[in-house]
Structure 1
Amino acid sequence: MSVRTATADELLPVLHAQWTPLVRLATLLVDDPETARDVVQDCYEAVLRLRPEVAGEDHLTAYLRRAVVNRSRSALRRRHTVLRYLAKLRPHTAPPADRDVLTAETHRELLGALDRLPTRQREVLVLRYYCDLTEADIAHTLGIPAGTVKSTAHRALATLRRRMEDGSRER
């Protein structure tokens, strides 16, 4: 497998093909379509500017996926800082109004439970069940051992099950 600097002509078809999957990934991680598009656009700009050394389309796709996860983390950190500041100014913030209209109740509850998971647990579940990545691919993307992926997914699924069961009992 030859690793070399990619040319713009080689990058553009992959970037075009991966736009929608990467925006979906970022949307699930940051829970905001506009921010997700910005995250992916920033990744694309960096890839075109830096021209990373890649060993083919699969390697470039994995590189982009990892970049999106990292930039999503940064976006969440920035959002958290802003929300902490705004919380001091406003005592209560409401969830987005269109979320209830656009999503079925069970789906909405699941997304809410997913949003409340710790960042790493949410990332592992999104990469596993939305992106359909293997444990090895998730470990590579997040830079963690495969055993950590397994245990993190197990804890996250147990937490989601418990929260969904508790929510269904309250009705």
Structure 2
Amino acid sequence: MNRADTHRTPVPGAPAGPPTLVIGVHLVLVEDGRVLLGRRRNTSYAENHWHTPAGHMEPNESVLRSMAREAEEELGITIAEDDLVLLHALHHLDADDGRSRLQLFFRPAHYQGQVANREPDKCHELRWWPLDDALPDDTVPYTVHALAKIAAGRAVSAVGWPA
């Protein structure tokens, strides 16, 4: 056993063995000091909360391809994979299901098309919110955390983990 192993704090209910991560991709679109958020609906997570356009990486898909695909599916915009810039990596321990998630937040250097709500069955509405004011109280908490870290220039953070 190495020294690092003796200082680990076990997470209650966590499975033994190597970690299995769920990878989430999030698009941070900022225009004129405002960030695009969508109000979620008909979802199993954060119903009626505001959140960045987001999704999960699918099998046999890179994170860049995943983010470009989600932008097309949810917003109808086209982003070249080479135009995606990683802003923040958030290692999130989900209190609801105890799963370890790596949430990656990207901004596009360029995109083509007009932003539109292409999934009205999953997103009630899209709205631009000023970044210099408080985001709505019903914004997904880890989204608020990540946007604050991005504004502070922090590339990586973690939430939900025992101290």
Question: Which one has the bigger helix percentage?
Answer: 1
In which range does the TM-score fall when normalised by the shorter chain?
under 0.3
**Radius of gyration: which is bigger?**
1
Question: Which one has the bigger strand percentage?
Answer: 2
* TM-score normalised to structure 1 length: 0.27
The structure whose RCO (Cα within 8 Å, separation 6+) is larger is: 2
